[in-house]
Structure 1
Amino acid sequence: MNKKFSVLIKNKITKFNKTILVENDKSISHRALLIASQCIGPSNLKGVLESEDVKNTIICLKKLGVKILKKNKKYIVYGNGLRSFRKPHKNLLYVGNSGTLARMLIALVATHPNLKVKVSGDNSLNKRDMKRIIEPLSKIGCTFYPRDKTTLPLTIEGTSMPLAQKHTETLGSAQVKSAILLAAINTHGITTVEEKKISRNHTENLLTAIKASIKVKKIKKNNLISLRGQENLSNFNLEIHGDPSSAAPFIVLTLLTAGSKLLIKNVNCNPTRIGFIKILKKMNANIRIKNLKKKSGEHVGNIFVKSGSLKPISCPKELVSSAIDEFPLLFIIASVIKGVCKFSGINELRHKESDRIKSIEIGLNQIGIKTKSTIDSLKIFGNPNIKIKKTLEVYPKNDHRIAVSYVILGLLLEGKIKIHNCETINTSFPGFLKLIRKVGGKFEVK
């Protein structure tokens, strides 16, 4: 983690008309690096996000014996084929703050014979639930120590004979689904995943693009994914585009700053990632996606946003999984528009880097916004006239989404907000504050 710093915001942002690029997709960066490590030959990856989370992925893969070079802004991953990891130094791997890296890397390690590796994270990640991957990976023959522990640090003992199984994914977790699929590429036979709640499908898209033996079949509202494992994977070339989650805070700033317009170019617009935009359109947001094209199985386009009046919403449950990372920003919007917004089916937010429902609720309550919550829902009574009378001190607890969301709140309201622990933003969006300045936001770094 970089040196600790805080951000102090004293002034609302004024109207702007800008064109920007946001940093590239973190989810795809992780997956591309991990899958390339299991391919035969060099894969060329352009646009890998250079955030702390992704840098930890590169460090872990290098420790496992994967050669990775950076040349001309491209990362070249020299894959040695399936189950080719070597024992890391001292049999230790550190995954930092990244739940995605932890769960997907553990799945690959767990299906490598002769590996027994201890995986640990930072203080935040070490509190997060790993039972959701321990159960399906134990089912195929992997072993975890200590036996009854469900949080990191954990020691993973790889199995020499992983067994293809039928899995059911009910959480709407792309991390769990992807962990099963990455274990499956090293597992003989056909592994199936019945996806009860649809989640982001970058893993399936990339495996399809590189011609892995994967099939996705739609069954009513569910997906049935099947993958034939232990078939060699060929190296590939991939260009990674803008992260829709990184576009989201700037969409919010534009919508709620009168007279503003924004064009965000070359953003990944995968349908499983733009629930945030679909929800905003139901709130009367003026957002258009232009020049949509399909590249390496992913939809890429330009997002045009214009400010306007938003109306409150009862958020449809079916859009929750495709907007899961953007809910803190939706809560910020709900707090500063007229009316009552209701969000339900959002229990998964309590199992992220922090309890994101609680983290936002505490801050909103402190500035006078009324909220009501349950384990699975949040109701926000918006007040467009709210002002911060006393400096709001925010402690994001190593949760980058919370830090970003409060920066946006600070730029939308009169009064002062001080967000501590802002170095955590570098885990996913190191260029965030620089872009805030580009669109006219003013802040002090403390």
Structure 2
Amino acid sequence: MPSGPLRARIRVPGDKSISHRALMLGALAVGETRATGLLEGEDVLATAAAMRAMGAQVEKRGDTWHIDGVGVGGLLQPAQALDMGNSGTSTRLLMGLVASHGITAAFTGDASLSKRPMGRVIEPLSRMGASFTSSPGGTLPLMMEGLCPAVPIEYRLPVASAQVKSAVLLAGLNTPGITTVIEPVPTRDHSERMLRGFGAELEIEETGGERAIRIRGEADLRPQTIEVPGDPSSAAFFLVAASVVEGSDLVIENVGLNPTRAGLVLVLRQMGASIEELDAREVGGEPVADLRVRHAPLTGIDVDPAIAPSMIDEFPVLFVAAALAQGTTRTSGLEELRVKESDRLAAMAAALAAAGARVEETADGLVIEGTGGAPLSGTGDGSPIVTHLDHRIAMAMAVAGLASSGGVAIDDTRPIATSFPDFEALLESAAR
């Protein structure tokens, strides 16, 4: 692994959440949607393949993806099972799309995805009239039959989940009348922003801290030209790496700073990080800026659990920053991390301890005693870190390796391709 300071201008891949939604809504608009900056990891390509299987034309020419849509209500029955690979987002959102079309679809996925809970979307979509035959425990493989016309519902989210919210809103697109989702805790709002951008009638009302999102069905979506901003979850690894490696001065261009996703920037600044926003602008309804990050001494803090939904995927790399800070960092309210690609709390506690950090695992978080800026010992010649085939753990521990004296060995870097195929090459080029 490289070990020098990070000094470069880099671009991280396009935002995964926005890439998925651009393909899905482009496939439901009549006419040609063009998208640049789309993330080309395996998860997004699984969504592209599913939209092709249901009748949309999706192809890349040069740097631009061209999506020729079938119109809301126009999805065709796929001839084969839709293979979702490792993508929970593709699965849950596409189940929403299929729910209000009169078609049957089978969903399959890899071993990791097949353990993840789908009951949280099956429940509201069943109320709208879709029927499901899932594997025991509400997991994949799963067969579903949509209903057209579906039944509009008002659904209060029992768990803060942008995927469940989006699945219900996408089902509402082809459902006569008004479909309503009530969010007790705000979650990432890419679906709402993009649905409006494509011309759906969508209203958001905030009362007593809750958000009610209403969508009018039988929508006509208009094709769009979309420039996908850089993924803040991918930028996160470089924000932390440049903060903890001495002498670093890094610019990450075109990063999406949607407030429902930018929690890590806020928390790192609270810890003392030097992160400057250059050329702040708006692209396709999403706030974007270039971020300049310079090495700075970090101090441990108690992370407010209310910020967790806006940085849920960034905790593995935040734990690395905490391990190199001065003093103690405490996190709580992170039960959701136990049902990600792996149990990220247990996996990161074990990984950081193996690399020489002082970590204590609690029921819903980690307590980390930092080194005060001194390098971690690393794994040296010991056993490699067990990543449980989780891309974010692999990348977080690669960042820990940059700030260690003995380096960090990782058992398998292949899963990184699900979200960030060029991660290792980009890290190496920045730290030359």
- TM-score, structure 1 length as denominator? 0.93
Match of 1:5 in 2: none
Look up the SS of the partner of 1:245 in the other structure.
Answer: helix
Matched, 1:136 2:124: yes
Quote the offset at 1:338 in angstroms.
2.4
Match of 2:186 among 179, 198, 217: 198
Matched, 1:440 2:428: no
Matched, 1:28 2:18: yes
Match of 1:232 in 2: 220
Quote the offset at 1:89 in angstroms.
2.0
Quote the offset at 1:317 in angstroms.
1.5
Distance 2:31 2:6 in 1: 47
Quote the offset at 1:187 in angstroms.
1.1
Matched, 1:104 2:105: no
Look up the SS of the partner of 2:312 in the other structure.
Answer: helix
Match of 2:45 in 1: 55
Matched, 1:88 2:62: no
Quote the offset at 1:143 in angstroms.
0.7
Distance 1:322 1:146 in 2: 30
Distance 1:105 1:223 in 2: 23
Match of 2:417 in 1: 426
Quote the offset at 1:391 in angstroms.
2.6
Match of 1:46 in 2: 36
Quote the offset at 1:319 in angstroms.
1.0
Note if contact 2:115-2:140 (Cα within 8 Å) is conserved in structure 1: yes
1:373 counterpart letter in structure 2: E
Quote the offset at 1:397 in angstroms.
2.1
Match of 1:360 among 334, 348, 351: 348
Distance 2:381 2:330 in 1: 27
Note if contact 1:170-1:197 (Cα within 8 Å) is conserved in structure 2: no
Note if contact 2:55-2:70 (Cα within 8 Å) is conserved in structure 1: no
Quote the offset at 1:390 in angstroms.
4.1
Match of 2:107 among 119, 130, 135: 119
CA deviation profile, 1:29-72 (whole Å, cap 9, x unmatched): 00010111111111111221111111111111111121112223
Structure 1's unaligned 5+ residue stretches are: 1-8, 442-446
Quote the offset at 1:235 in angstroms.
1.4
Match of 1:306 in 2: 294
CA deviation profile, 1:199-247 (whole Å, cap 9, x unmatched): 1111100111122100112224221111111121111111112111111
Structure 2's unaligned 5+ residue stretches are: none
Look up the SS of the partner of 2:331 in the other structure.
Answer: strand
Distance 2:423 2:88 in 1: 21
Match of 1:262 in 2: 250
CA RMSD of superposed structures (Å):
1.5
1:143 counterpart letter in structure 2: S
1:297-376 superposed matches below 5 A:
297-376=285-364
Match of 1:243 in 2: 231
Tell which has more relative contact order, 1 or 2 (C-alpha 8 A, sep 6+): 1
Distance 2:58 2:269 in 1: 42
Look up the SS of the partner of 1:37 in the other structure.
Answer: helix
Note if contact 1:313-1:341 (Cα within 8 Å) is conserved in structure 2: yes
Match of 1:17 in 2: 7
Distance 2:208 2:291 in 1: 31
Matched, 1:400 2:391: yes
Match of 2:56 in 1: 66
Look up the SS of the partner of 2:237 in the other structure.
Answer: helix
Distance 2:199 2:72 in 1: 15
Note if contact 1:391-1:416 (Cα within 8 Å) is conserved in structure 2: no
Distance 1:170 1:25 in 2: 26
1:285 counterpart letter in structure 2: A
Match of 1:290 among 261, 275, 278: 278
Distance 2:135 2:20 in 1: 28
1:408 counterpart letter in structure 2: V
Look up the SS of the partner of 1:224 in the other structure.
Answer: strand
Match of 2:167 in 1: 179
Look up the SS of the partner of 1:397 in the other structure.
Answer: coil
Match of 2:382 among 383, 391, 395: 391
The count of aligned residue pairs is: 429
Note if contact 2:354-2:385 (Cα within 8 Å) is conserved in structure 1: no
Distance 1:109 1:255 in 2: 44
Match of 2:144 in 1: 156
Distance 2:349 2:201 in 1: 45
2:76 counterpart letter in structure 1: R
- TM-score, structure 2 length as denominator? 0.96
Quote the offset at 1:195 in angstroms.
1.0
CA deviation profile, 1:300-334 (whole Å, cap 9, x unmatched): 11111111111101001221111111000011111
Using a 3 Å threshold, how does the CA distance of structure 1 residues 265 and 416 change in structure 2: closer, same or farther? closer
Note if contact 1:391-1:417 (Cα within 8 Å) is conserved in structure 2: no
Note if contact 1:109-1:158 (Cα within 8 Å) is conserved in structure 2: yes
Distance 2:365 2:332 in 1: 4
